[in-house]
Structure 1
Amino acid sequence: MDTGFWILQVLNATQYSMLLFLLSIGLTIIFGLLHFVNLAHGALYMMGAYIGISAAAATGSFWGAFVLAPLAVTAIGAFLYFTLIDRLRGAGPMNQVLVTFGLIFVFLDLARMGWGDVALGLDAPEALRGAVPILSVTYPAYRLFLIVLGAIIMTALWFALARTQVGAMIRASVENEAMAASLGIDVPRLFFLVFCLGCALAGLAGVAAAPVFSATTGMGVEILIPTLIVVVIGGLGSLQGAVVGSFIVGWIETFGAVLAPDFASVLPYVLLAAILVTRPQGLLPARG
C-alpha cells in the first residue's frame, strides 16, 4: 500500500461522499422544512438514472440526459406532492413512512415494467472518458467531475440559503412556520418549491451516478440506508450536517472496506448507534 494507493482511496471516498451529499441534502431539506419523512427519495434517485439512460438514447447526448432527468423527476415529485405528500403532512410520521415505503415498491415495479430487471449503463460524455494524472496516480475524469459537481451544488446551496432572500425565508419557515406566515411569506408555495428542489437533486444524483454504478432496480433501496444514516448523523434539516455526515459515512465505508473488510458493512451502523445514544439531534442540527 504505497502513497498512490492512499491517494486513490481518498479520491474514491470523496467521490462517494459527494454522491451521498446530493441525495442527503434533498432528503434533509424536505424533512427540515416540511417535517415529512420521504422514504421514496431513493426511488426518485433510481428513476433519475433510468430516465437519464432513456433521455441519452433519445437525444444522443449525455448532457441532454443530464438536464432532462432532473426535470422529469421534478415533475414526478410535483405530482406526488399534490396527490399524496401535501395531504400527509399533518398525518404523522408513521403514516408518512408507510405511504412512502409503499411508493418504493410502486416505483420499483414501474422501473421493471419500463426498463426490465437488468443493469443498464450510461456512457460518460466523450470529454470525460479519459483519466487525469493526480500526484502519483491517474484517476477517471468522470469521477473527478462528480467531485466537482458535488462541490458546486454544495457551494450554490450554501450561498442560496445564507446570502439570498429566499434562503432567509426558508430559514425563517424552518424555525417558526406560523411566524413566517404572519410576516407574509407564502409558506405552502415555499414548501412546494423546496420539495421540488429535493426531487431535482435526487434525479441529478441518479443520472450522474449511472455512468459509474449503472442503473438497477435495487439501487434506490441500496443508497437509501446510507443516506438516512447521513441525515441522522449530520442533523435533520441542516445543510452543514449533510456535508459533514456525507463525508463521515463516505470515508468510513471506503476506508473500512480497505482496512477492515470484515466489519466494513457494520461500521456505519455502529456510528449511527453511537450518535443516537450520545447526540440524538445529530452533530449539526438545524435547530436546538
Structure 2
Amino acid sequence: MADVARDPVLDRQPLAPRPLPLTRRQLRVGGAVLAAVLAAAVFCLGLVAGWWQLTGQDKRFIATVLNGLTLGALYFLVASGFTLVFGLMRNVNLAHGSLYLAGAYIGWSVADVTGSWFAGVVAGFLSMALAGLVLQLVVFRRMEGQDLRQTLVTIGISIVLADLMLWQWGGQTYQFIAPDWIDGTVRLPLVGMGYSSYRLILLLAAAVIGVALWLFLNRTKVGTMIRAGVDDRDMLAASGVNVQRIFCIVFAVGAGLAGFAGVVGATALSIAPGEDVRYLLASLVVVIVGGMGSVAGAAVGAVLIGLAEQLGLVYSPTYGVVYTFLIMVGVLVWRPQGLLGRRG
C-alpha cells in the first residue's frame, strides 16, 4: 500500500513559548534590590573581616534605620487595610484612622479584663472587622461611586467616633504590656548592639501579612474575583458572583487589619487621642506614594515614609516632618500613579 503523502505543516512540532522579556520597571526594581543586597553583603563582610569598627554614631544610625523599618512595618499594617478599601474598591473611607484607634482601645480593655495580650489582639481585629462590615452594608453600599458623599460621611463618622472614644476612655495615655517571650532586648549579630525583640517581631509579622495579602489577591480565586469586581462589577455580577458579598469580605479584612495594627502599634508605642488622625494621614501618604491598590506598593511606601520620618526626627528634627511630604510631592510629579501603581 502506497504511503500517504504527509503535510509538513501538520507534522511540525509546536514551538515552545518564548519567555516574555523583562520590562524596564522590572529591570529597575531588580537592579535596585540587587544593589541593596550587595551593599548589605559588603557591609556585613566588612564587619566580620574587621575592615572597620562601628562607632557610637554608626550604631545610632543603625538604630535609627531599624526604628524607621519597624515604624514602616506599623504604617504598612494600617495602610494595607486602607489600600484594600481605598485603592482596590475605590471607597473613600476617611474613618480608617478611627478604626485603628478604636481597635487599640477595645483591645486594651479586653486585655485589661482578661489579662491576655493575645485576647486583646483578637478583640481588636474582630471588633473592627465587624465595624467595617457594618460600614460597607450601611454606608458604602448606598453610596457607590459617590466619592464626595463618602468623604463627607466618613469624616463625620470619624469625628463622632473620636468624641465617643474620648468620652469612654478619657484623654490619658494607655500602653499594652507585651508577653514576656516577645518582650526584652535582642543582641544583634555583627553590629554588637541591643534592639527591641518586639519591634523585630513586628517587622516580621508585617512581612508575613504582606506576602499573605499579595498571594490572596493574586493567586486565589477570591482574589481574582475581587480584582475583576473592581474593574467591571457589572460583568462579574452577570457571571453569577455575589459582588456585595465579596466587597463585604474585603472591607471586613481591611478594617480588621486596622484594628490589629492598633493593638500591635499601641504595644510598641502607646494609645492616645489624636492617633487616629496621625495614622489616617500616614495611610494616605503611603497609598499615594506606593500606588493605589498595590500591596507591594504599600510596603515600599511605608518603608520610605517610616525611614524618612525617623531619620528626619534624629538628624534634622526641625524639618523632619517635611521629608515625608517631599517624597509624596516628588512621586506625584514624576509618577502620579505611584511607584508600583497601574496607569490608567
Q: Give yes or no for TM over 0.5.
A: yes
Q: How does 1:92-107 map to 2 (within 5 A)?
A: 92-107=146-161
The answer to whether residue 181 in structure 2 is matched with residue 127 in structure 1 is yes
Hey, what's the Cα distance between the residues in 1 that align with 2:193 and 2:71? Answer: 18
- Contact 1:33-1:173 within 8 A present in 2 as well: no
The counterpart of 2:283, out of the listed 205, 212, 227, is 227
Work out whether 1:8 is the aligned partner of 2:63. yes
- Alignment counterpart, residue 163 of structure 2, candidates 92, 109, 113: 109
Name the amino acid aligned to 1:119. T
Report how far residue 286 of structure 1 moved: 4.2
1:109-258 to 2 correspondences below 5 Å: 109-135=163-189, 136-258=192-314
User: Does the 8 Å contact 1:175/1:287 carry over to 2?
Assistant: no
SS at match of 1:266: helix
Unaligned ranges ≥5, structure 2:
1-55
TM-score by length of 1: 0.95
Name stretches of at least 5 consecutive residues in structure 1 with no aligned partner. Answer: none
Kindly provide the amino acid, as one letter, of the partner of residue 20 in structure 1: Y
SS of the residue corresponding to residue 320 of structure 2 reads coil
Query: What are the Cα deviations for residues 103-152 of structure 1, in whole angstroms up to 9, with x where unaligned?
Result: 11111111112111111111111212211111321111111121111011
Q: Which has the larger radius of gyration?
A: 2
TM-score by length of 2: 0.80
Root mean square deviation, CA, Å: 1.4
Contact kept in structure 2, 1:12 and 1:254, CA below 8 Å: yes
The one of 308, 327, 330 equivalent to 1:271 is 327
The C-alpha deviation readout for 1:63-108, integer Å capped at 9, x for no partner, is: 1111111101111222222221211223x21111111111111111
Q: CA deviation at 1:11?
A: 1.3
Aligned length: 287
SS at match of 1:119: coil
Instruction: Pick one of 120, 125, 134 that aligns with 1:65.
Output: 120
Residues 232, 282 of structure 1: 8 Å contact kept: yes
Confirm or deny: 8 A CA contact 2:101 2:271 kept in the other structure. Answer: yes
State the match for 2:318 in structure 1.
Answer: 262
Cross-structure match for 1:84: 139
Amino acid at match of 1:247: V
Q: Secondary structure of 2:139's partner? A: helix
Residue in 2 that maps onto 1:22: 77
CA contact (8 A) 2:290 2:339 kept: yes
| In 2, Cα distance between equivalents of 1:53 and 1:131 | 23
Aligned-partner residue type, residue 205 of structure 1: A
